[in-house]
Amino acid sequence: MIGIDIVQISRISKLKAKYGTKFMEKFLNQNEILLVKSDESLAGFYAAKEAVSKALKTGVGSEFSFLDVEIFKDKNRAPKLRFKDDLVKKFGIKNSDLSISHDGGFAIAAVILTHF
């Protein structure tokens, strides 16, 4: 299962400026908020969570919430995904890969999920 999302960084910057931490808490947990160092990385995290919803083919709603998945960094500082246990069981997620990039005013994320 593959999901890709692209977001304009200025759009995320405006939402953060208007709503502050409350905006970030809608889609990030406290560990993720600590990882965000710039609006570019914030936009990348947003795109990553949208890409997960597309890979699951659910969108964001009753079947999948932004807070059902956590983005963390491995020992090499590469972004990784950690899913809530009930989501792993529901969708049969075995492995996941995540790539995030930003350039030219946009952030993009690609997610690949494999299942049992």
How many Cβ atoms from other residues are within 10 Å of residue 85's Cβ?
A: 7
Q: Where are the domains of the chain?
A: 2-115
CA distance 98 to 7: 16
Residue 116 has pLDDT above 80, yes or no: no
For all residues of the chain together, what is the average pLDDT? 96
The answer to whether 5 is annotated as binding is yes
Q: Is 111 helix (H, G, I), strand (E, B) or coil?
A: strand
pLDDT category at 1 given cuts 50, 70, 90 is very high
At 115 the pLDDT is 85
CA distance 40 to 22: 18
Place of tokens 């990385």: 41
CA distance 2 to 53: 10
> Among the residues of the chain, which ranges form H helices?
9-19, 21-25, 30-35, 39-56, 85-91
Task: Determine the topology of domain 2-115 in CATH.
Answer: Ribosomal Protein L22; Chain A (3.90.470)
At 113 the pLDDT is 97
Q: For the chain, what percent of residues have pLDDT higher than 90?
A: 96
Q: Can you read off the two tokens belonging to residue 81? A: 């995904």
The answer to whether 25 is annotated as binding is no
How many Cβ atoms from other residues are within 10 Å of residue 61's Cβ?
A: 8
